[in-house]
Amino acid sequence: MDDIYEIQADVLRALGNARRLEIIHWLAQGPCDVGTLADRMAIAQPNLSQHLALMRSTGIVEGERRGREIRYRLIDPDIVRACGLMRGVIERRVARLADATRTTGSVPLAPPHSTTTQR
Amino acid sequence: MDDIYEIQADVLRALGNARRLEIIHWLAQGPCDVGTLADRMAIAQPNLSQHLALMRSTGIVEGERRGREIRYRLIDPDIVRACGLMRGVIERRVARLADATRTTGSVPLAPPHSTTTQR
DNA sequence: GGCACTGATGCGCATCTGCGCATGTGCGAG
DNA sequence: CTCGCACATGCGCAGATGCGCATCAGTGCC
């Protein structure tokens, strides 16, 4: 009755990856097969398939056979809306950071966990 | 100009954890100090501090000293809205799964990656 | 000053993730 | 039936995550 958090965390973890966010970005513009997606994203096909498998298992996307290709599509449009909200949050945060940096002349918070400079 | 996905992934990863979702749940009902939060969540204080530090570094929460306590609060209310959208997505998915299971008598998808039965 | 309290940080460990790589599987064409 | 194409899956490894534990740091009070 409370492990709804676990499930929600699974979905959010499935979204917490730049590659998968890019997948959502492309699928938000309409269904697409794996090959085309791999081509657009410049990503290895097995790697893409792994991401798609994960997103399938969490109920974010689903695939349907079309001849020998498989067309993937987003299941729930609210995923895109939620991502849009998140994006707004980020833009506001960046603006806030830029503002604080401009007025104080230094970075206000988060010395550890660089956040942006990863990988 | 495209690593906005990286930043967004950082935030979503920061939300992709049941403990941190619970933190958001409590903070959504008003600011709270660490001790009270640790008490409500039945979690070790150092562990809670680590979660809070991560959420601080991603700009989800912020803390302010109040005497010798520190009151944490959510920075952007849209985080809660996004989580609400996610919750709707999940409820719809669960309903869809239950429906498919009832009509077909078996689980329709995701044999691997059990999703719910982790840890 | 010393002390108690509140919170943050460092360390070590088990586990999970993401990737490249090789290989397996389902489909259509000949 | 066999071949080639489109995806999926298994394996192994480097790096990241979450936790318990001990310890450090800031604050108020005596």
Helices (H), chain A: 4-15, 18-27, 34-41, 45-57, 78-104
Total beta-carbon pairs less than 8 A apart between chain A and chain B: 162
> What average pLDDT is seen over chain B?
86
Answer whether residue A118 shows pLDDT above 60.
Answer: no
Q: What value does the mean pLDDT take over residues A73-95?
A: 93
A16 touches strand C (CB under 7 A): yes
The two three-digit tokens of residue A49, written as one number: 């398939």
Q: Which nucleotides of C are covered by protein (CB under 7 A)?
A: 5-10, 15-23, 26-28
Q: Which of A29, A64, A32 is nearest to A48 (CA)?
A: A32
Through-space distance between the first and last CA atoms of chain A, rounded to whole angstroms: 37
For chain B, strand residue ranges (E) read: 32-33, 61-66, 69-74
Answer whether residue A26 shows pLDDT above 50.
Answer: yes
Strand nucleotide closest to residue A113 (CA to C1'): D16
Radius of gyration of chain A (CA): 18
Q: How many CA atoms lie within 13 A of A11 on its CB side?
A: 28
Q: Which of B13, B62, B75, B90 to mutate to test the interface with A (most CBs of A within 10 A)?
A: B90
The two three-digit tokens of residue A81, written as one number: 């809306």
pTM summary value: 0.84
A54 touches strand C (CB under 7 A): yes
Kindly state the DSSP code that residue A71 receives in the 8-state scheme. E
Tell me which of B23 and B118 has the higher pLDDT: B23
Residues B50-97 have pLDDT tens digits of 999 999 999 999 999 999 999 999 999 999 999 999 999 999 988 887
Residues A28-73 have pLDDT tens digits of 999 999 999 999 999 999 999 999 999 999 999 999 999 999 999 9
> In chain B, which residues from 18 to 47 place their CB closer than 7 Å to nucleic acid strand D?
19, 43-44, 46-47
Backbone CA torsion sign across A59, A19, A96, B69: positive
Q: What value does the mean pLDDT take over residues A69-98?
A: 92
Which of A56, A81, A110 is closest, CB to CB, to B109?
Answer: A56
pLDDT bracket for residue A94 (50, 70, 90) = confident
Please list every residue in chain A whose beta carbon sits closer than 8 Å to the beta carbon of residue B83.
8
